């Protein structure tokens, strides 16, 4: 009875960042979810997809940051038979395509309220944009 978790992150046309996950068991979707992040990058969304997907699959607690999400994933691997495998995107793998659609749907949601703590990558992106704007003015 293997459980397979597919996750993805996506940047929408307006720059919004979303995550998605789909939990499969015996080839069928057991649960799925998506959401939007503020002040984040696509990698952050992918980590959020892992975090929320693991939570849904394992019914565990949810840590406050994407770094903690990866640590939680390692802890889960130590407690259960969990393995991580990168798969190429947009190659027609059904679970991955499902997670991709969910991540895109997440990027179209209203921003979360209250706003979660911004990631370091998100803060760097905003600082870079502001510096470029100030320089070009």
- Look up the CATH number of the domain holding residue 54: 3.30.420.10
Choose between 66 and 94: higher pLDDT: 94
Choose between 119 and 93: higher pLDDT: 93
Are 38 and 115 in contact by the 8 Å Cβ rule? The answer is yes
Residues 6+ apart with CB under 8 A from 7: 19, 20, 21, 46, 49, 50, 53, 99
Whether the per-residue pLDDT at 114 is higher than 90: the answer is: no
Q: What's the predicted TM-score (pTM) here?
A: 0.69
- Domains held by the chain: number: 1
Which one, of 24, 19, 29, 18, lies nearest residue 5 by Cα? Answer: 24
Query: In 3-state terms, what secondary structure has residue 108?
Result: coil
Each residue's pLDDT tens digit, 115-132? 667 778 888 888 888 888
Domain containing 66 equals 3-136
């Amino acid at each position: 009875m293997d459980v397979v978790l597919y996750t993805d992150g996506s940047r929408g046309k307006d720059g919004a960042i979303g995550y998605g996950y789909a939990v499969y068991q015996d080839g069928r979707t057991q649960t799925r979810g998506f959401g939007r992040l503020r002040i984040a990058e696509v990698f952050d969304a992918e980590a959020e997809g892992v975090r929320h997907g693991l939570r849904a699959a394992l019914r565990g607690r949810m840590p406050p940051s994407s770094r903690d999400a990866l640590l939680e994933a390692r802890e889960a691997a130590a407690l259960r038979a969990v393995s991580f495998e990168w798969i190429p995107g947009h190659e027609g793998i059904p679970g991955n395509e499902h997670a991709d659609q969910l991540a895109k749907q997440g990027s179209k949601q209203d921003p979360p309220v209250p706003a979660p703590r911004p990631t370091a990558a998100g803060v760097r992106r905003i600082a870079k944009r502001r510096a470029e704007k100030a320089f070009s003015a």
